[in-house]
Every structure is written in C-alpha cells, then in structure tokens.
Amino acid sequence: MSRRLNDTVALVTGAGSGIGAATAHSLAMEGAAVAVLGRRRERLEDVADKVRADGGTALVVEADITDRRQAAAAVEQVVADLGRLDTLVNNAGFMGVGPAAESPLDEWEHMLEVNVQGLLYVTHAALPHLLRAAEDSPRRVADLVNISSTAGRVARPGTAVYNLTKFGLNGFTEALRQEVVRQRLRVSVVEPGTVDTELGTHLRDGVRQAIERQLEGMELLRPEDIADAVSYIVTRDRRVAVNEILVRAGEQTW
C-alpha cells in the first residue's frame, strides 16, 4: 500500500497520550517520520515504541512548551535529527472548568500558558521550516494543524477561560492561514467534541463529577477519531486545503 507521507517529517505536541499519541501513530503509518513531543518521557517512549513496532520511525523529544527556549530547542532538535519539518500538529492542551468566581487563578494561568503561549512558541519556531518544506519538498506543500475544540465555537457556563483560549486559537488559525496560503503552507483547525482522553482527569472534585453526570450514557469519541481527521487533512493533494473539521460525538448537542 502506498504511504502518502513518505519522506516527510511530522511533529506532534502533547503526544504522550490521547489524541496526540493516536495522531503520531496515524501519521507514522502514512510514512512520516514522527517526532513525539511532551513532558513525560516514559509515556513518549511508549508511543515511540508502538510506532517502531508497527514499522514506523519515531523520535522522542522531551520538552515543556510553556518555556519558550525549550519549545524552540525542541523544534530545532527535530530538524537536526530528522532533517526537515513538513507537518506540525499543535495538540498539547489543558482544560480547566468550573464557575469563574470559584476557579483558582493558577488554573486560568496554566490554560493560557499551554493553550496559547506554548502553541505560539512552537508555531513561531516551526514556521520557517514549514515554509521551506512547502517550497522544496517533493509534495510541494506543508501543513500546520491546530487542535481546538467545540469550545472554540460554543461558549457555555463554566468554561469561560477555556473558551477564551479556543476561540482565540480559531481566530489565530484563520488569520495565519490567510497569511501563508500562497506559499502552500496549509493551516487547518480540528475541533473535537467529547473525546475519551486524560484531558479531564485533573479536574477538581465536584466539577469532575458534574461533567461525568453530563456525559453519562454518551458514547464518547476515541482519540483515533480525531487522528483520522488530522490524517485526512495532511494527506490531501496540494490542490486541496481542508481548513476546518468539526468532529462531535454522535449524541453531542453542544
């Protein structure tokens, strides 16, 4: 079977579990050499081992993207070790929910650090390499995919700051898309609904139980469902740009 991403390099942030791990594996199975980036080396090694066991190429990059120097160094390590960068998937994220008046300020700050600043640091470091790949690679196209959320489209009580980060991400994605569209760097956003991941495991008591009650009986999306959307975007012919994919669970109304 032809692998559509042969001779390309992809970097996935937040790749130690969930959507990031599934996306890294999916891109590797399409032929990309994949760099898995995150803070938990053990988890990253597990993801890389699975990729390699299935015949793919994986590089582990341990870094905290909320540190601008670590984020930039991580991108440069990928290019130095794998030779180029054709695809960036900004997946790392943090979700804190609950009434604004009862939310710890530290939680708000952490959401901004990961969902906004970390993404910007990685993107800024990667852009020159992605633009170069779009110009000189055999495919003559490169991809930047941002993982947002339905919370980037629908504001709801208890998610004010998470909404802030995801609405902002959607706006950033569209503006950047328009800037680089003629250079054949495709900039896309994927907006997952409720996915069975670790994203909500850190939620405070009370908040977590309320969300569990809300989701009770619903069949949640799997990380592989979102990985499929990312793979679809980046494997299109260069004449096709898929700007946005919204993926909700089948029973999700918001």
Catalytic residue among 5, 17, 26, 162: 162
d(CA 115, CA 117): 6
3 state DSSP class of 239? coil
Is residue 162 flagged as an active site residue? yes
Strands 244-247 and 142-147: unpaired
CA–CA gap between residue 122 and residue 90 (Å, rounded): 8
CB atoms within 10 A of CB 191: 23
Q: Ramachandran region of residue 158, left (φ > 0), alpha (ψ -120 to 50) or beta?
A: left
Helix (H, G, I), strand (E, B) or coil at 39: coil
Amino acid occupying residue 103 = S
| Among 149, 251, 145, CA closest to 200 | 149
* Whole-angstrom distance, CA of residue 215 vs CA of residue 225: 18
Lookup: tokens for 61: 């990059």
Active site residues: 162
